Amino acid sequence: MASTLSGKIFVVTGAGSGIGRAISLALAKNGATVVASDLNFILAKKTATDIQASGGTSDAHALDVTKADQSTALAKTVSQDYGRLDGWVNNAGVSSMNRLVDLTEGDWDFNMNVNAKGAFFGTQAAARVMVNQPLDPISGLRGKIINIASMAAKRGNAPFLAHYVASKFAVVGLTQAAAGELAQQRITVNSVCPGYVATGMQERELTWEANLRGITVEEVKQLYITDTPLGRIETAEDVASIVIFLASPLSDFITGEAINVNGGSFMD
């Protein structure tokens, strides 16, 4: 499947590290041109440079997903530069941890703004460009929007993460509403729901959770593995594989779904 996505133009948000970086590398490996965007431009640039070094096509943009005008501008620029926008991956996300009773308005706003509002702005910016481009003659679609939600988008019982859970349930709700509205324009919208993925975000969460529980980081990691029937911590590449499926023609008739990739931690 080396060139399944050949000629396709994809934007990835939060492409500078973790899951977004893995998604970007996987999209490029499968032939897509990748517009790597991140709040941290240096990290986005590194992703784009690494793709170019391995023979792929990529460029980097600074993007703060909480700013609607920045997402709008990026979608327009990509459409002008490449003549088309085939896919937009709303991956950028943040977390923080605390007991429900200790969460602050700042925790709530930070998580909701990046995870929920950011996915909304990205979806809107991408859709506004996609609706005005011709149907792809092979797929009969105008574009694909893929949201990185979370296991916490379906399983509310996630300790110390009430605000994050709310933001990720919002992403799945947004996915369904957008999929319903945009189907007529032949744009698909789907979510991916990962479990415990080894990234910078997880490193931070391990420390916070260890402090909140009064146990060691290694003990918290063991809790994650015990909660995963397939018996290991998830990799960013595990998540990227599902994104490739959703980006590829194999999923052209799927929309409004929230696909679990979590080693069996949560099944529905």
Ligand X SMILES: NC(=O)c1ccc[n+]([C@@H]2O[C@H](COP(=O)([O-])OP(=O)(O)OC[C@H]3O[C@@H](n4cnc5c(N)ncnc54)[C@H](O)[C@@H]3O)[C@@H](O)[C@H]2O)c1
> At closest approach, how far in Å is the CB of 165 from ligand X?
11
Backbone angles phi, psi at 147, to 5 degrees: -105, 130
Contacts of 133 (CB under 8 A, 6+ apart): 79, 84, 85, 142, 143
In this structure, the dihedral spanned by the alpha carbons of residues 258, 248, 250 and 23, taken in order and rounded to 10 degrees, is -50
> At closest approach, how far in Å is the CB of 203 from ligand X?
8
> At closest approach, how far in Å is the CB of 194 from ligand X?
4
SS3 at position 189: strand
Q: Is 82 annotated in the active site?
A: no
> At closest approach, how far in Å is the CB of 2 from ligand X?
25
Give CA 89 to chain center in angstroms.
5
Tell me whether residue 105 or residue 184 sits nearer to ligand X (CB atom). Answer: 105
Q: Round to whole Å and give the CA distance between 176 and 134.
A: 23
Taking alpha carbons only, the member of 30, 55, 86, 92 closest to residue 245 is 30
The first and second tokens of residue 213, run together, are 């529980």
> At closest approach, how far in Å is the CB of 167 from ligand X?
8
Tell me whether residue 112 or residue 201 sits nearer to ligand X (CB atom). Answer: 201
Q: What is the largest CA-CA distance in the chain?
A: 57
Give the active site residue among 82, 164, 196, 224: 164
Tell me whether residue 94 or residue 141 sits nearer to ligand X (CB atom). Answer: 94
Tell me whether residue 48 or residue 114 sits nearer to ligand X (CB atom). Answer: 114
SS3 at position 228: coil
Tell me whether residue 13 or residue 79 sits nearer to ligand X (CB atom). Answer: 13
Can you give the binding site for ligand X, defined by CB under 6 A? 13-14, 16-20, 38-40, 43, 63-66, 91-94, 114-115, 118, 148, 150, 194, 196-197, 199-202
What are the catalytic residues? 164
